[in-house]
Structure formats: structure tokens, C-alpha cells
A = this chain, B = another copy of it.
Amino acid sequence: MDYQNIFSSNAKKMKSSKIRELMKYASMPDVISFSGGIPDPQHFPYQAVSEIIQKWDDKKAQVAMQYGTTTGYPPLVNNLKKRMENLKNINLSGQDLMITSGGQQALFLVSRIFVDPNDCILVEGPSFIGGIAAFLSHQANPIEIPLEDDGINLTILEDKLKECQEKNIKIKFLYTIPNFQNPGGVTLSQEKRKKLYDLSLKYNLVILEDDPYGDLFFEGTPQDYQPIKALGNEAPIIYISSFSKILSPGLRLGWCVADHELIEKMALAKQSVDACSQSYGQIIANDYLEKNIIDDYVETMKKIYKHKKEFMVEEIKKYFPLSVKYTNPNGGFFIYLTLPDKISSEALFKKVIEKNVAFVTGDPFHIDKVEADKHIRLAYSNSSEEQIKEGIKIIGETIKSML
């Protein structure tokens, strides 16, 4: 059967992203891969999770196996609300919190309630692939605002907001990852958070704040990485986070804090998407919070990721030419590199993959494809010292050979 003439306009546009194609190489055995933004599996708290499950009584086990509420398992919703108030200083008054099937689903649902085909949204350049995918799947028109060492360029942002206001173009939202940006590796400064909050107020700009890495900082205190949303609820800010980096991505659990009205719409949208998120994992996550296993795990992982990051930076210094620029993140999983002029990230990829090393080219992170080809992303989260040593050496030597 020829399906082409009955596919939706959406489906007709779908094609496999470059990163998915590249990931095929990355998952081959013997390949040292700095591609995936995935946690170190050896340290997952799977033993603690198994013990949690063994302690369930019949009643709890039955709830874990049953359909749940679309907005999430109520005790988990309550515990996350408390955590958002106490740890993130988010004021929950007038706000609501819902569980989503990973942070990815929150990005999808926000797109679903705001974006009609050709609607303008603002994204950081570079930005998270999953975010871009969710927006493009609703046929959004993303406008890129460049990232600087201290986060999004606010001058260019305000110019764009003014321009759109004058031209009467509605901006549906700005998507930002303030902490240890993926892929940029940079953090939005406190000063810029305040200015961004004010811009949101001034221009009625909805901010979609994605914060999956916020707990995984390598220096400073939680206050240094507090959400933009902690600045108040006058500005329309939607805060998204996830258990993927602080428990397990395999459970597919994220959450979203926003005005009650928005959570209500997102919950209505979720009903037709997957009815509810998985109950089993939600009760695991709730016990993990209540038994305070989370704090130990996060502390352990901060040390492990910090060490991996420092080790990778050292190796970059050793093997990369000085003309390669790189970010030195204060947390999270990623280093973003700018290659010397005339070296194309795609050309570099093709050379290093022959030597069994993989990374992600800038292509999927940028709307501007010329800019994209200057960059590569390296994830240190899932590699051993040995792999980092060998892989970075190979990439460095390959860059040198191309100069």
C-alpha cells in the first residue's frame, strides 16, 4: 500500500535526525562514545530501588500496578511540591505540579498547548535536541538567540522581542536551560536571571525553563543555580525537571510546575497522549524521596561527574590545539567545543568514527546550520577515565592533522 498520500503533513516532514543516525555508530561495540547525554549506569541506585519494592505491602503494590491519575500519583506530587519549595525556592501559590513521562513529555505537552503551525518560539543557539524536536513536531518556527558564556544573549533577545512586538508577531515562548546548558555547558548568571525575569514581565513572554541538571553542580551552593521561576510567579514561567539524572532515565518520569490553568490544559492534552504516567515508577520515586535516598545518590554523582569533567578538560588541554575553544561546565554532562576556522564538525566526525570514537556534531543543536558546523558536543557522563584518555587523544590528533 502506498501510504504517502494519506500521511499527515506532520508525518511527511518527519525524517530521522542526524544525531539518531550518528548514534548508530555510537552504540557499536568498541566505539568510545561521547555522544549520548546518558547517566553513568554503574552507579544507578538499582539496589535501593529493588529494596524499596520488596518493602511494599499488598495495597501499595496494587496501586503500583494500577492505572493512575493523569496528573500523577498524589503523594509524589505532594513530595515534589515540597522539594520545589524547600530546595528550589519556588513559591507554589497559584501554581500546580504534574508528573510527566520524562521531561521530554513536558516539552511535548507545552508545545501542544501553545504551538500552532508557523508560530514563533525562541530557542537558545545551541539548544537541546529533544526540545527542538518537540517544537518542530508542532511545526513551530524557532528563532535562535545565541548563547554566551553566562547564558543567553539578552541584548539580542530584547531586540528580537521589540521587533516582534512592532511587527505584531506573537512569540509563544522562550525555551531556556539555565543550568549547565545542554549542549552548551554554560550557566545563566544570577544577574541575567533577574533581567530575563523582568523581560518576561515586560513583554508577557512565557519562559519554558528546563532544568534537568540543576542538582548536579560541581561548585557553589544550590542558591547559585536557583531557577528563574524562584524569582516569582508574576512572570509566566513554566518550570520542567526530571528524575532522569537524579534517579533513572529508564523510569521516564519528569515533572512540570506552572500556573494552575496551564497544568490543567497540559493534563487534558496528556489524557490523549498516554492517559497517565507509569504508576510503578512513581511509587518507586516517591519512596526514594521519602526515604531520602536521593540526597546520597546526588552527592555521589556530583563527585563522579565532577571528576570525569575535570579529567576530560585536562585531556583536552593536553591533546587539543589551542585554537579549539571549549566550555568548562560547573555541572551537568556536557562540554561544547568550537573548532578552529575551516574545520567542519561533520568532516571531523567522519574521520574520528573511523578510529572508533564518536561525539555529536553541532548540527542537531542549531537552527543556523553554518554556525552548527563549527561545533561538537562531548558528554563525559558515561565514559571511564581510560575511554576519555584514549578518545580525547584521538579527536585531538585528528583535529591537528586537519589543520
Contacts and interface: CB of A to CB of B under 8 A. Distances in A.
Contacts of A6: 114, 170, 172, 206
Given A14-B269, A271-B20, A278-B251, A138 B8 contact: yes
Interface string A127-149: 00010011011100000000000
Contacts of A259: 1, 3
A50 B41 contact: no
A34 interface: no
Interface string A255-278: 000010110010011011111111
18 contacts: A1-B204, A3-B206, A7-B265, A8-B115, A8-B119, A8-B138, A14-B113, A44-B65, A46-B56, A50-B61, A53-B53, A54-B54, A66-B250, A67-B250, A102-B275, A105-B274, A108-B272, A252-B274
Interface string A45-63: 0110110011010100111
A183 interface: no
A112 to B, nearest CB: 6
A119 B11 CA distance: 14
Interface of A: 1, 3, 5-11, 14-17, 20, 36, 38-39, 41-42, 44, 46-47, 49-50, 53-54, 56, 58, 61-68, 101-102, 104-105, 108, 112-116, 119, 130, 133-134, 136-138, 170, 172, 204, 206, 236, 244, 248-252, 259, 261-262, 265, 268-269, 271-281, 284
Nearest to A101: B274
A262 B3 contact: yes
A6 B110 CA distance: 12
Nearest to A171: B6
Contacts of A278: 101, 250-252, 278, 281
A108 B39 contact: no
